[in-house]
Amino acid sequence: MEKVFASIITIGDELLIGQVVDTNSAWIAQELNKNGISLKHRVAVGDVWDDIWAALDEESKHASLVIITGGLGPTADDITKPLLCKYFGGKMVVDQPTLEHVTKIFNRLNRPMIERNAKQAEVPDVCTVLKNERGTAPGMQFKKDGTIFISLPGVPHEMKWIMENQFIPQIPGLFKTGFIEHRTLLTYGIGESFLADLIRDIEESLPEHIKLAYLPNYGIVRLRLTSFGVDKKLQEEEIDQYFQSLKERVKAFLVTDEDIPMELFIAKLLKEKNETLSTAESCTGGNIARMITAHAGSSAYYKGTVVSYDNDVKRNVLHVKDETLRLTGAVSEETVTQMAGSVREIMQTDYSVAVSGIMGPGGGSEEKPVGLVWMAVANKDRVVTKQFQFRYDRARNIEMTSYNALNLLRIFINENR
């Protein structure tokens, strides 16, 4: 076994001026990890010949695998393909299967194909083509001084398709990888520092090849153990033993010992009992619904939401009493209680969640400042409510409200079991 290190080079001015957030790297990192490869370095450079060249030199010094994304589109600001051709000492040739594939795409779209499009089928003669079923720009694989280089388009779904179908299956043949094992648990209701004190002796007892990391976010702290080694079975037994100790120690704060987001944990609880959920959102504007429905299969337990951004909708669709809105306002315990009750009846679900708050930057008052949120969770027997006062910007207030509403639901469901 050798410890296999990889590096990602992301190419494109759009990343350096901040017009685009790089989501590709996180996905690639996860996939490499699953396949026993550690990402050591990630670099982003602009569409600048010398910078790309220098990055290829620099990253290949420390990595056995260099993954390059971006810079393969059909327009003139792309210099990546000619650069790769020169870097690896080849000349451009037409790849016949790619040309047929590009032609087929244009025929299907019923669009004329112009020279620029045909050029996408040109590749350096020193690469192996990685077929791209999702688009016109093919992936390319090179080898130089023992390092494997792959170049992929930056469009996420194209990049993913090529990785999954063309490159990842090659990994066992290309590298002698070890195994990387992760175990992750989620805690709620305890700060990072207190958690560290609580598990100090376990952390100190960890062997060199097992690392512990704290990942706090949204009031949740995720604890992650990572083990590197050669013997998958031994390694699993060992990490499971430490993981078990951790779980027992943090029991009072444990949400789940699976590395899944809160909304999938709730999905699991609901599916166990064949139960259903609906939501009524005001200040989160549909974000809770979006989080839940981002996952395939959510229609089995989730029926829908009413986003009542306007008070008329609270009155007319969610039947919040006019008197309540007048006397206690839209952001109040009474309002969210009525919202939760109504949506549960309207959508005929076992559980419902309702939120109403002031996300800012405007709309606050002395009595009801920005960041004030009321939320309610209901089933047929009871309703619980909770008030929060967040102190963040709009985007984070929305996220914190969404996560905390899901967490309140989690606690509520567990109390019913």
Map the footprint of its own copies across residues 363-392, applying CB under 8 A.
Answer: 391-392
H/E run at residue 375 = strand 372-378
Give the span between the Cα atoms of 123 and 140, in whole angstroms. Answer: 8
315 binds its own copies (CB under 8 A): no
Strand 139-144 relative to strand 128-130, pairing: antiparallel
Site membership for its own copies, residue 274 (CB under 8 A): no
Residues 337-356 that bind its own copies (CB under 8 A): 346-348
Q: Is 369 helix (H, G, I), strand (E, B) or coil?
A: coil
Nearer to its own copies, 102 or 383 (CB): 102
Say how far apart CA 335 and CA 325 lie, in whole Å.
Answer: 7
d(CA 7, CA 206): 28
Total interface residues for its own copies by CB under 8 A:
106
Minimal distance, residue 1 CB to its own copies, in Å: 19
If DSSP codes are grouped into helix, strand and coil, which group holds residue 247? helix
Tokens (6 digits) for 195: 């958690």
Q: Minimal distance in Å, beta carbon 369 to its own copies?
A: 14
Instruction: Between 203 and 240, name the residue whose CB sits nearer to its own copies.
Output: 203
Of the two residues 116 and 143, which places its CB atom closer to its own copies in the complex? 116
CB 400 within 8 A of CB 392: yes
Nearer to its own copies, 152 or 195 (CB): 195
**Nearest distance from residue 180's CB to its own copies, in Å?**
8
Structure-block tokens of residue 398 = 């929305």
- Which of 96, 395, 415, 416: binder of its own copies (CB under 8 A)? 395
Least separation in angstroms between CB 416 and its own copies: 22
Alpha helix (H) residue ranges in 135-222: 156-162, 171-174, 192-198, 200-205
By CB under 8 A, name the one of 96, 193, 205, 416 that touches its own copies: 193
Residue 58 binds to its own copies (criterion: CB under 8 A):
yes
81 near its own copies (CB under 8 A)? no
Report CA-CA distances (Å) from 118 to 94, 96, 105, 159: 9, 11, 11, 20
CB-wise, 89 or 361, nearer to its own copies? 361
Tokens of 188: 């709620």
Could you say which residues in the range 232-261 bind its own copies, by CB under 8 A? none
Distance (Å, whole) CA 240 – CA 185? 12
State the nearest-atom distance from the C-beta of 21 to its own copies, in Å: 5
Residue 195 beta carbon to its own copies: minimum distance, rounded to whole angstroms: 8
x/- track of binding to its own copies for residues 19-38 (CB under 8 A): xxxxx-xxxxxxx-x----x
